[in-house]
Structure 1
């Protein structure tokens, strides 16, 4: 598993891509004959966080290398350079192309832009509010639906709010859930944080949300 700064660097690189470039990145991951092979079903219609998990689980310490190579293959050279710099990779050596033997690029400790700003830790409402944009960008539809079910069972959402949420797209639904829970008070916010981290414990967002 790469060090945390490398994982954050890959996620930052994926977030910097336009949606069309992100989809091209996923397509290239699935069509390139790299080692290890990544299959289309693993990245098709997945969020940036989910694609990050695939890279980490399949490529382990070579995840940064694979991400840089793929970015260059789709013409996103600036993003590839930024990833190499943020992950501590040697920019003087180009990332190897597909079908060649390669070793993982070295990483050195560094502060990511996400780690440089403090996050409120004592107030669950402030903490949840501070990650609202990231939550909307990264939470998957499956996790979101499970959160809705748990909030309903806990009576932190009523049937009307549940129905309203179901009629929204994924990102809008995520923002609606956060806003609704924030209106219910700190206990509701704390419950949502706990349940999210239980459902998606490996996400970078969960690291931020731990009280």
Structure 2
């Protein structure tokens, strides 16, 4: 949760629409989001930055476990963004 709070502003500015859509699919599949929550993010927020705010704020509100799941999903979806956000330290992580 602290990690997501720390990166919130940069995440909102940098994340792409495609990554948001993928994260929503992942978070739904992992049981973090309901179908209704996923629909709310996409239907009530047409701008990518607003969708990003909604996703990260909702996940932060759900606690540590949900935050960890989102970070894991984000690592799989966009390692480059994770490096920019300093969620991973270096390319050494790619070798694991």
Task: Find the residue that maps to 1:191 and give its secondary structure.
Answer: helix
- 1:193 matched to 2:71? The reply is yes
1:141 to 4, 11, 17: 17
- RCO higher in structure (CA 8 A, sep ≥6): 2
Larger helix share, 1 or 2: 2
Counterpart mapping for 1:7-156 below 5 A = 125-156=1-32
- RMSD value, Cα: 1.3
Say which one has the larger Rg: 1
Unpaired runs of 5+ residues, structure 2, are: 90-96
Query: Take 1:198 and 1:154, find their aligned partners in 2: how far apart are those partners?
Result: 14
Q: TM-score, length-normalised on structure 1?
A: 0.39
4+ long deviations beyond 4 Å: none
Unpaired runs of 5+ residues, structure 1, are: 1-124
Query: Take 1:202 and 1:154, find their aligned partners in 2: how far apart are those partners?
Result: 23
Task: Find the residue that maps to 1:177 and give its secondary structure.
Answer: helix
